[in-house]
Amino acid sequence: MTLAVFYKLLAIFFTVGLGWLAARLRWFGEASAAEARLLSSLTMNVFVASLLFRTAARIDFARLPWPVLMAYFLPALALVLVVGAWHRRARSDDANTAPPPTGAPAIPATRAVAATYGNAVQLGIPMAAALFGEAGLAIHITMVGVHGVMLLTLPTALAELALAHAHARQHGAAPLAQVLLTTVRNTLLHPVVLPIVAGLVWNLTGVGLHPVVDEALQLLGNAVVPVCLVLIGITLRAYGIGGKISDAVRAVLPVCLVKLVVMPAVILAVAHWGFGLAGVPLAVVVMMAALPVGSNALIFAQRYHVLEAESTAAIVISTLAFVVTASGWLAVLAWMGR
């Protein structure tokens, strides 16, 4: 790990710490769960939405490196489905042991986001620049451009399908067509999916973004990183990680293991032996997969009012562990490149 990447890690923890301190000093009021969710809603509905719309509206499909993107996102999306299915089965096994929380049907999708959505901007960009130079940074930024589009849309659809199915069971059996219609409607109107769809439609018109609109969207999108990091600190203060072996803490370790070890291993195998990637492109996709849990995992959790404490702990613990696991994956890549 380079010194530049290590400094970026320290800056992330410093910003999170400022958020915790501000909440500790009650600059945001009582720093309760309600205040954290209010800031989360603002972030998702304004800042993240602006970032996703601008990203989707500016994608140049003709110039995308499709083999690299498929080598990363096909196994990543498959992992979303596998993690979601695993936790749906675990929830069904535990259904009779504890009353489910509000939004419980969205828990599998929420854990799938934590297990697959990496910190590709505030940590990934400086990492790619420091390790792989201009060529690697160009590949990484291209992947960042479709990262949220790909890895937030599918979990959103899965969460909304689970909620619609649970609602139908609770209020009497509903026809499959009605459940699917509810899922599609709620998915399209979701603050993650709606700006993506709107941006893609705008992209297809070929009109482009007016400079004033583009600048405004960029300003709003630039707020995502600092606000999300501060939000993590506020959520740490509101929920804490806890010193006991609670259900939330026990769930963090498998999620971190999937994100830091399983996901990069799967993508390494698919990218190298499935798509024939080698050299810098292979290193970029593997190290992007090896990134710690991104802050959007917390935003997603707070959207459905589930696993806020667990998502916060996963972000913090995986970022700490990244110091070790990143060095390990760089060693593997160096060995393969001999």
Top-ranked range on mean pLDDT: pick from 40-44, 86-90, 179-183, 315-319: 315-319
Q: How open is the CA angle 328-67-198, to the nearest 5 degrees?
A: 105
- Mean of all residue pLDDT scores within the chain: 83
3-state secondary structure of 2: coil
Residue-level pLDDT at 242 = 52
How many Cβ atoms sit within 10 Å of the Cβ of residue 125?
16
What is the number of other CB atoms lying within 10 angstroms of the CB of residue 112? Answer: 30
Check residues 96 and 6 and name the one with the higher pLDDT: 6
C-alpha 94/C-alpha 96 separation (Å) is: 6
Q: Who contacts 337 (Cβ-Cβ below 8 Å, separation ≥6)?
A: 278, 279, 283
Give pLDDT, residue 6.
74
- In 105-206 the beta strands, taken as DSSP E runs, fall at none
Per the model's pLDDT, the better-predicted residue between 269 and 15 turns out to be 269
Q: How many CA atoms lie within 13 A of 131 on its CB side?
A: 29
Q: Which residues, 6+ apart, have CB-to-CB distance to 286 below 8 Å?
A: 264, 267, 268, 271, 329, 332, 333
Q: Is 242 left (phi over 0), alpha (psi -120 to 50) or beta?
A: left
Query: φ and ψ at 118, to 5 degrees?
Result: -95, 165
Of residues 51 and 92, the one with the higher pLDDT is 51
Please say whether the dihedral angle defined by the alpha carbons of residues 303, 305, 311 and 312, taken in this order, is positive or negative.
positive
Q: How many CB atoms lie within 10 A of CB 175?
A: 9
- Residue 245: its pLDDT value, please? 46
Domains and their CATH numbers in the chain? 3-336 (1.20.1530.20)
Cα–Cα dist 230/19, whole Å: 4
pLDDT band at 16 (very low <50, low <70, confident <90, very high): confident
Instruction: Locate 69 and state its tokens.
Output: 């993107």
Q: How far, in Å, CA of 279 to CA of 136, rounded?
A: 10
Across residues 35-57, what is the average pLDDT? 82
pTM exceeds 0.85: no
Span 162-205, pLDDT tens digits: 888 787 777 665 566 666 676 677 777 777 778 888 888 999 99
The 10s digit of each residue's pLDDT in 287-316 is 999 999 988 888 888 888 888 888 888 988
- For 83-108, what is the mean pLDDT? 71
Per-residue pLDDT, 97 = 45
Residue 323: what residue type? Answer: V
